[in-house]
């Protein structure tokens, strides 16, 4: 069993903790909080052991009647891998603590690339973690692009990719980011930082990105145009995506016409927290013209990096091969959403009352 601790139990940390707890080869030893708020209560209700992220706050937990098992150093002494899910920039400050405890670390995409020995995406760069003491799981947007580009690059070769990212303004819980009502180029400079971040896990892909922020909380939307080296057919592209469990094609007849309904669908099919771990590709947007492939995809920023974190833990702590780790993660979480209403009748399953 790989013993795992999660330092920082917020939007990403609570999801990573649940995903780790679901793995047959991992044990979630504990999670940290800086204060005894509603998320601390959530961790306790799930039966997770709590540790104080900051030693000074131990008394605050005591005053609130919230039992803790110790502080961050105690957690680090009890685990094989720490997943740092603290706010962007705090991870870099935590690095020396992890090194002092000789604890391999998985960082998040809000940190600069140099926080870790390597940048990680399971589909694009799993093996970089083999000799690494620490990895950084790239951001939600970069994860979404890497998953899309990797199979296309392998099958056709990517000559050039252009992406416009329409970024959500904040997560649903980030009340301090609103209320807002605007569309903001962010960053205003082109290309944005997302292209170089994709190159941290897919160095061979030539990609330019531009990004805007809009006042929504549900998901990011990517408008993608890729010039491939070999011309594909639309059918072949659909088939290629179908073979990737972390890509979900939204069929036209499902009537899902926006991120709101997509999240509603996720809740209807029983996804925890309404999470969509997969890239969500609008099937009807897939368009081929010569060597140019265009499409829209949506990325659930709170969720797509979660299976990647699980694979990153295995990649730094074990010799489990990439394909086996990815399959194990997907099986344990039930990643691989497929609609019963697939446009392609070859992929459609009959719907019965029992379903």
Ligand X SMILES: NC(=O)c1ccc[n+]([C@@H]2O[C@H](COP(=O)([O-])OP(=O)(O)OC[C@H]3O[C@@H](n4cnc5c(N)ncnc54)[C@H](OP(=O)(O)O)[C@@H]3O)[C@@H](O)[C@H]2O)c1
Using CB under 6 A, which residues numbered 132 to 171 contact ligand X? 139-140, 171
Site string for ligand X, 39-78 (x = CB under 6 A): x-------------xx------------------------
Q: How far is the CB of 243 from ligand X (least distance, A)?
A: 25
- Nearest 5°: CA angle at 153, between 287 and 222? 50
Among 2, 5, 6, 13, binds ligand X (CB under 6 A): 13
Q: Is residue 34 within the footprint of ligand X (CB under 6 A)?
A: yes
Closest to ligand X by CB, 11 vs 23, is 11
Q: How far is the CB of 141 from ligand X (least distance, A)?
A: 8
Q: How far is the CB of 31 from ligand X (least distance, A)?
A: 9
Closest to ligand X by CB, 10 vs 258, is 10
Got the DSSP string for 103-139? --EEE-TTS-GGGSSEEE-HHHHGGGGTT-SEEEEPP
Instruction: Let me know: does 149 contact 163? Beta carbons within 8 Å.
Output: no
Q: Is residue 86 within the footprint of ligand X (CB under 6 A)?
A: yes
Task: Round to whole Å and give the CA distance between 169 and 185.
Answer: 11
Stretch touching ligand X by CB under 6 A, among 5-13, 119-127, 189-197, 260-268: 5-13
Q: Is residue 172 within the footprint of ligand X (CB under 6 A)?
A: no
Using CB under 6 A, which residues numbered 248 to 307 contact ligand X? 301-302, 305
What length is written for the chain? Answer: 355
Strand partners, 250: 282
Instruction: Let me know: does 323 contact 311? Beta carbons within 8 Å.
Output: no
- Taking CA atoms, 71 is separated from 53, 117, 224, 350, in Å, by 6, 26, 45, 52
How far is the first Cα of the chain from the last one, in angstroms, to the nearest whole number? 34
Instruction: Answer yes or no: 140 catalytic.
Output: yes
Among 108, 221, 249, 297, binds ligand X (CB under 6 A): 108
Q: Is 21 exposed, middle or buried (0-12, 13-18, 19+ CB in 10 A)?
A: middle
Closest to ligand X by CB, 32 vs 339, is 32
Q: No. of H helices and E strands in the chain?
A: 12, 16
Closest to ligand X by CB, 175 vs 233, is 175
Q: Is residue 11 within the footprint of ligand X (CB under 6 A)?
A: yes
Residues that bind ligand X (CB under 6 A): 7-8, 10-13, 32-35, 37, 39, 53-54, 85-88, 90, 108-111, 139-140, 171, 301-302, 305
Catalytic site residues? 140
């Amino acid at each position: 069993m790989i013993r795992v601790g999660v330092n920082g139990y917020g939007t990403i940390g609570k999801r990573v903790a649940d995903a780790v707890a679901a793995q047959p080869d991992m044990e979630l030893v504990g999670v940290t909080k800086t204060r005894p708020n509603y998320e601390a209560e959530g961790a306790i209700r799930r039966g997770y052991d709590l540790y104080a992220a900051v030693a000074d706050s131990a008394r605050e937990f005591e005053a609130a009647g919230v039992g803790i098992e110790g502080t961050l150093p105690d957690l680090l002494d009890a685990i094989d891998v720490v997943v740092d899910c603290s706010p962007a920039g705090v991870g870099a400050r935590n690095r020396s603590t992890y090194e002092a405890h000789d604890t391999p670390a998985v960082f998040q995409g809000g940190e600069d690339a140099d926080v870790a020995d390597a940048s990680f995406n399971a589909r694009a760069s799993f093996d970089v973690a083999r000799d690494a003491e620490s990895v950084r799981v790239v951001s939600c947007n970069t994860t979404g692009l890497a998953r899309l580009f990797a199979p296309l690059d392998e099958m056709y070769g990517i000559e050039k990719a252009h992406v416009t990212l329409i970024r959500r303004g904040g997560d649903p819980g980030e009340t301090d980011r609103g209320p807002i009502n605007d569309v903001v180029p962010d960053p205003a400079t082109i290309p944005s930082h997302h292209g170089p971040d994709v190159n941290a896990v897919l160095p061979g892909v030539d990609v330019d990105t531009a990004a805007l922020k809009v006042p929504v909380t549900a998901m990011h939307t990517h408008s993608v145009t890729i010039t491939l080296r070999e011309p594909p057919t639309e059918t072949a592209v659909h088939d290629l995506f179908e073979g990737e469990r972390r890509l979900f094609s939204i069929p036209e007849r499902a009537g899902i016409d926006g991120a709101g309904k997509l999240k509603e669908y996720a809740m209807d099919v029983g996804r925890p927290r309404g999470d969509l771990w997969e890239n969500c590709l609008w099937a009807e947007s897939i368009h081929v013209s010569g060597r140019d492939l265009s499409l829209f995809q949506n990325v659930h920023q709170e969720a797509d990096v979660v299976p990647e974190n699980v694979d990153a833990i295995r990649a730094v702590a074990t010799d489990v091969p990439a394909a086996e780790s990815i399959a194990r993660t997907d099986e344990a979480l039930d990643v691989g959403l497929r609609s019963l209403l697939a446009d392609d009748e070859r992929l459609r399953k009959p719907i019965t009352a029992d379903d």
